[in-house]
Structure 1
C-alpha cells in the first residue's frame, strides 16, 4: 500500500493505492500553505487512514525541486518554497517520499495507462488556467531527478504577430516574471486576454469557445490567433523531441473541436506531417495527478 497526494495551493487530494487501477480517494482537505508543521499533520491524517502498513508516500505538486540544490520551487505553498522538501518530509513522516511536478504526473499517467500507451516519446500538455507539460521517453520522466524539463509554458516565445491576416499582440506578463510566455497567452486566461485585446470585449474562455462553436466571427478570429500562437512552439517541440503523441489535459481539453483544431494546426507546421492525430484528448480524465503519483510511488518500492 502507498499513499498518494495531488497537492495544490488550496486543496490536498489524498488517496490510498495498490496500483493505478485501484486508487481509493479520501475526502479533500485544505492545504496549510503557510505552516509546515500543519502541512505535515494534514498528510499524516491521510496516511493514518491506511488499513495496512504504508510503504511510501508519493506526491504530485504544482512546483518542482531544483535539480542542483534540491530546494522546492513552489510559489503557491510558501511553507515548501525554498525548503529541501523531500528531505524534510522524509524526516517528518518517517517514510520514503517521492515528489513530482503535477504536469509530469499527468504525463506519466498518460504514457503508462492513457493515450500515450505504447508510444516511445510522449509529451503531455496541460491547457488549463495556464500552460504546462511533461516529457516521458521510453516510460521514464525526462526530469526524474528534479527540474522543470517539459515546462514549455514559460519563456518569452509567444508571437507578437499572429492570425490570418496577422494582428499585433503585446507580450502579456506572466506570473513567473517574464513577458510573452505561453502560460500567460495560451491558457484560458490568455485566451481571454487575446479576445479582449483584439475586440475590446471581456468574455470568459468558456463563452469564447461556445461562440466559436456557433461560428461567431469575433470568437472565430480570436481562436484563429490563439491557434497560430500555440501551434508553432508545439510543432517545434515535436521536431525536437520526436514525440509521437501529445495528450492534452486541463479545462480547455474538454472542447474536442478545439483539440482537433490544435492538432491540425500543429501537423501543418511540422517537418513531416504524421497524417494521423498527434494532439489528442487525455484518457485519464479523473485525477491524473493521483494516477501519476501512484505509478511513480509503485516504481520506487518495486
Structure 2
C-alpha cells in the first residue's frame, strides 16, 4: 500500500484536511465545521482523521519498522505552540490560547502530531513544491483577514527561539510619513503594526471607508476612473514595498511569495518590485515577489509537508 501525508488547516470556522501521496500529489481534500469549543474541536480533529484513514485503508504513522502502510499528520493553526509552556499562544481564535493543543492531539490520535503556525505552513508548501520550489530561502506572506509571514530555509521552517520567527505583521511600518500618523492601534497592544496597514480590511476601508472589508473589484474600479480606488491602491503598494524592503534588508530571501486574498491583486507584482530600490541597501535589488502556486490549499498542503520526506517509509 502507498504511504500518505495528512495535513490539517485548523481555522476559526473550519477544519480542512488534505492527503498527499509520497510524490506530493493531492489525493483528497475535505473540510468540516470547527465547533469553536476547545474539547469539541479536539474530538472533531480526531474523528475526521480516523474517518479519512479508514477510507484510505491506511494505518497511522508510529515508527518505520511497523511493517504497515503509514500516514504522518501535521496541523497548521492560527497561532503557535509556546516552547516554554507547550500551550498555544497568539491565536486569533482566542479560545485556543493557553490550551495544550499539541499534547491533547497526540493523546487523542495516539501518535505524534506536528503542530505549526499556519503562515509557516503556507511558506513550507510554496517552498516545497510551489512558487518557491528550488529556492534556498523563501519568505512566505499571508495578506488576508490578518497578516503573517513564515521563513523556510533549505526546506525547513525557521521557527525561532520563541516560535515567532516571521511574525512580520507585528513589526512596525518602516519609513513612516507624516500623513500616516496617528498610528493605528493593533490587537496585540502595540501601535503601527504592519497588519493594521496591509491586511485586506485596511485596504478596503482606505478605499470605501470604515466598516468595509472586501477588496474585490478595486483594480477594475481604479482602471475605470475611481480615484478613491486608485489612491488606495497607490498607498497600499507604497506601504507593501516598504515592508518588503525591510524583509530584504534583514533576511535577504531568495524569493518572497504572497498569499491570502490580497495576493490576487495582479498590480502588486508589477508595481512593488520597482519601488524596493529606494529602501533596500544594495545597488541592485532583484528579489522576486511572486504569487503563490497552490492558492487557498497552500496552508493545508504545507501542514502535510511538516514531516520529512522519508517519514513513515516502510521497507
Q: Same fold (TM over 0.5)?
A: yes
Aligned counterpart for 1:249 among listed residues 240, 259, 266? 259
Residues 194-209 of structure 1 aligned to structure 2 (within 5 Å): 194-195=206-207, 204-209=214-219
Q: How many residues align?
A: 295
Structure 1 residue corresponding to 2:235, chosen from 221, 225, 229: 225
- Alpha carbons 2:172, 2:193 under 8 Å: kept: yes
**Equivalent runs, 1:37-52 vs 2, <5 Å:** 38-48=40-50, 49-50=52-53, 51-52=57-58
Summarize the alignment of residues 250-265 of structure 1 with structure 2, pairs less than 5 Å apart. Answer: 250-265=260-275
Which shows bigger deviation, 137-146 or 65-74? 137-146
Q: Cα gap change, 1:189/1:196 in structure 2, threshold over 3 Å: closer, same or farther?
A: same
**Structure 2 alignment gaps of length 5 or more:** 62-71
1:175 matched to 2:175? The reply is: no
- How far did residue 145 of structure 1 move? 7.2
Q: Which residue of the other structure, out of 140, 144, 150, is the alignment partner of 2:156?
A: 140
> How far apart are the structure 1 equivalents of 2:86 and 2:35?
22
Corresponding residue to 2:27 among 24, 29, 48? 24
For normalisation by structure 1, the TM-score amounts to: 0.87
Whether the aligned pair in 2 keeps the contact of 1:195 and 1:201 (CA below 8 Å) is: no
**Helix, strand or coil: the match of 2:60?**
coil
Aligned CA distance change for structure 1 residues 204 and 41 (closer, same or farther; 3 Å): closer
Q: What is the TM-score of this pair, normalised by structure 2?
A: 0.83
After superposition, where does 1:235-246 map in structure 2 within 5 Å? 235-246=245-256
> C-alpha offsets along residues 89-148 of structure 1, whole Å, 9 cap, x if unaligned?
112210110011111011011111112122111111111122211011222111177611
Which secondary structure state, in structure 1, belongs to the residue aligned with residue 195 of structure 2?
helix
Task: Give 1:207 shift.
Answer: 3.9
**How far 1:190 sits from its partner (Å)?**
1.2
RMSD between aligned residues: 2.6
Deviation at 1:260, TM superposition (A): 2.0
2 CA distance for matches of 1:26 and 1:107? 19
Q: Is the counterpart of residue 153 in structure 1 residue 163 in structure 2?
A: no
**Structure-1 residue corresponding to 2:15:** 12
Which range moved further: 258-267 or 237-246? Answer: 258-267
Q: CA deviation at 1:272?
A: 2.7
Q: Is the 8 A contact 1:107 1:292 kept in 2?
A: yes
Deviations 1:153-191 (A, max 9, x none): 113336652xxxx73443222222322111111111111
Contact 2:46 2:105 (8 Å CA) reproduced = no
Pick one of 266, 273, 279 that aligns with 2:276: 266
Separation (CA, whole Å) in 2 of partners of 1:156 and 1:223: 20
SS in structure 1 opposite 2:191?
coil
CA distance in 2, matches of 1:132, 1:70: 21
Gaps of 5+ in 1: none
Distance 2:41 2:216 in 1: 34
Q: Cα distance, 1:64 vs. partner?
A: 0.7
- Work out whether residues 123 and 246 of structure 1, in 8 Å CA contact, stay in contact via their aligned partners in 2: yes
Please identify, of 274-283 and 201-210, the stretch whose mean Cα deviation from structure 2 is larger. 201-210
**What residue is the counterpart of 2:64 in the other structure?**
none
Q: Quick one: distance in 2 between partners of 1:259 and 1:196?
A: 23
CA distance in 1, matches of 2:255, 2:247: 12
Q: Using a 3 Å threshold, how does the CA distance of structure 1 residues 131 and 240 change in structure 2: closer, same or farther?
A: same
